[in-house]
Chains A and B, each alone.
Chain A
Amino acid sequence: MSERENILGRIREALQTKAPLPGPHQARGTVMPAVPAIRKWLPPVGTSAEEQTVLFAQNAADLKADFQLFASADELKTALVKVRDAEKWRRIASHGGVLSDFACQALGLPVVLTDRSYHVQEMEQCDVAITECDLLVAQTGGVVVTSRSAGGRALSVLPPHHVVIARRDQLVADLPAAFSRLQQKYAPDYPSMISFITGPSRTGDIERILVLGAHGPKRLTVFCL
């Protein structure tokens, strides 16, 4: 008999005896909370899009991420150029896409694109990664990227600064909404990696003191058009 059958056999034998239901609701017939119920317990997110934009900005600031909202493509371009000059970028890594192409053009620097095969060492030398994203989550101040929407698995973590170019309509209120949007968009053919990025890389492993940029980016910038 294979180990699979051994393990499943032991599990089935163990489960012959029922365990009492958890907590004080043992009389209830059903035990799994419905997905919409989850939303009721999570931190509040307000009702209007404006409130949620403000909430996203607050949460992003708490996480030490930079978030800016722009009224026009020109404003976005100006902001990108400003960061480029301030941080003295020389080389960028990015992937093909309407917004990321626009950003790369605006910056006018040599680009390592991940759309075909790329060299990891080359990407590692880049000063910044510019990617698109799937979603912005107001409840957490984080962004959601996938291996399909953001230039693969490494791009959003290898260079020291990650700049996300997003659209307003990508903002969702809370985590349940984020998971349902991902399900609608991809199921059953999910990208092999879906990552909820909530702030720049961090660690507290030395005396519980916060340090940004442990292995991933030291800085996370979210520019939203």
Chain B
Amino acid sequence: MSSFVSNFKALASEKTHDLRHRQFIRTALRGYEAARDRRKGAFRSWESARQSAAETKWQAINHLDAHLVALTAKLEARGTKVHWASTAAQAREIIAQILRDKKARSIIKSKAMTSEEIHLNHALEQEGFTVVESDLGEFIVQLRRETPYHIVFPSMHLTRGEIKDLFQRELGDAPSDNPEDLTMVARRVMRQKYIAADVGFTGANFAIAETGMISITENEGNARLTAALPKTMVTLLGIEKVLPRFADLALFLPMLATAGAGQPMTCYNTMYSGPRQPGEVDGPEEWHVVLLDNRRTELLADVEQRDALHCIRCGACLNVCPIFRNVGGHTYGTTYSGPIGSVITPHLRGLQDWKHLSNASSLCGACTETCPVKIDLHHHLLHNRRNASVSKPAFFERMAYQVFGIVANEPKFWWLAKKIGWLTQPFQKLVKGSALDPAKAWTKTRDLPPMPQETFKDWWENRK
């Protein structure tokens, strides 16, 4: 068993038994559920909107080369420097080199899951740069030296009391555990950091091929400030974020807000098309856009699962997933958790190491149903299971099925197996779930139904 699997199992078992955690997450998501449903209901047709969004992303992803060429040509025409990175290591090096060239010391960051994916903060801190996360949730988990719990709500696992203690310890400032007071502490701390930072770093939610723009969605205004005050701006963009047309945002912005947070629109949706232009009063003098592949092209080559690249990272599938809600975000051990994380992580980080995530599913399909761009998530979990067993079949599983095949094909063996089962089942209760039980992995948390006194076949033969 790889360490990824054993970590997952240990944490999952711990978290599912932590009733406080489960209750807390359920309460935290209750408001989201109500708001999301109300907002979906406000659409004249949410289903048609999903179909339109799926078709638009299909167009974008299936002509990705042309869209990226158009996007980067437009960006460069207005003075943006475009970099291409095949791997996480290349992306880290490109960004570190920009900072070295600028003789930068402090970097202010707005929320970017792609930067978590390439472990950017760690790499930059190793080189002696100061990196500050400005999104409140990210700032909190950074102070705790943790990874985000959820791709949209990074600190949703923490109570106000825990955050108060954290601020008291790390910042020496926490007037009360009132969320408003705590938010104002972060606001005060961050203000001067924006003004002092040499470089502003952002992620991206969409890239518009038609006009050469990057669109950033946020509620707090931290990305707006990050893109306004520092002299140099760096944006890290996964290549799958592209949309063909400017007007497509009219559909995607309200859908992202609705699916992601139950809002009609996120507070700030901002499109950037270049560094400060002639005649403008502020903004960065230099803007670097780093395009990141990091095995997205491998996912693109898998026709069956290509639509996983349609993902707009709204987090809706995490919120409805019974597995996510019980085991929590950190248990996954991945940058992207929940159903979408279970689908794409095997592609981004290796199937054999991460196939267990596709087994950690009830296949209820709630994720597929809620996905605003109609990614066939729960079938992709099955595809991953199939691909994993084809590329490296498990010895025990193969043996078990071979034995089952022999027994099931021979009436005498089948009759014998039934008899043995019927006779030994009462003893199974004695060892259920213990080390003596051969099927302990299964029976630890499940009951076997009792074998019938009389089988259908016996009944049919004896019915007169």
Residues of A within 8 A of B (CB): 2-4, 6-8, 10-15, 17-23, 25, 31-33, 35, 37-44, 59, 62, 95, 114-118, 120-121, 124, 140-142, 147-148, 151-154, 156-158, 174-176, 178-180, 182-183, 187-188, 190-209, 211, 213-217
Contacts and interface: CB of A to CB of B under 8 A. Distances in A.
Contacts of B65: 8, 11-12, 15
B300 A214 contact: no
A120 B45 contact: no
B273 interface: yes
A18 B62 contact: yes
Given A22-B58, A193-B271, A211-B180, A205 B49 contact: no
Interface string B212-238: 010000011110110111000000000
6 contacts: A7-B297, A19-B58, A33-B52, A206-B140, A206-B160, A208-B153
B244 A215 contact: no
Interface residues of B, number: 108
A131 to B, nearest CB: 12
Contacts of B186: 214
B245 interface: yes
Contacts of B90: 3
Nearest to B258: A43
Contacts of A197: 267-268
A193 B272 contact: yes
Contact of B179 (A41, A209, A215): A209
A204 B49 CA distance: 27
Interface in B269-285: 269-277, 279-283
A195 to B, nearest CB: 4
B421 interface: no
B84 interface: yes
Contact of B247 (A2, A21, A179, A208): A179
Nearest 7 CB-CB pairs, A to B? A216-B221, A153-B228, A214-B220, A205-B137, A14-B301, A175-B250, A41-B49
Contacts of B187: 213-215
A117 B281 contact: yes
Contact of A22 (B45, B266, B374): B374
Residue with the greatest number of chain A CB neighbours at <10 A, chosen from B63, B184, B244, B273: B273
B224 A153 contact: yes
Nearest to B269: A196
Interface of B: 28-29, 31-32, 42-46, 48-49, 51-52, 54-59, 61-65, 68-69, 72, 78, 84-86, 90, 134-137, 140, 153-156, 158-160, 163, 179-180, 182-184, 186-187, 190-191, 195, 211, 213, 219-222, 224-225, 227-229, 239, 244-251, 253-254, 261, 263-277, 279-283, 291, 293, 297, 300-301, 303, 306-307, 310, 374
A147 B351 CA distance: 46
Nearest to A180: B247
Contacts of B249: 175, 179
Nearest to A160: B187
A182 B49 CA distance: 22
A4 B84 contact: yes
Nearest to B221: A216
Contacts of A62: 264
B250 A38 contact: yes
Contact of B219 (A154, A187, A214): A214
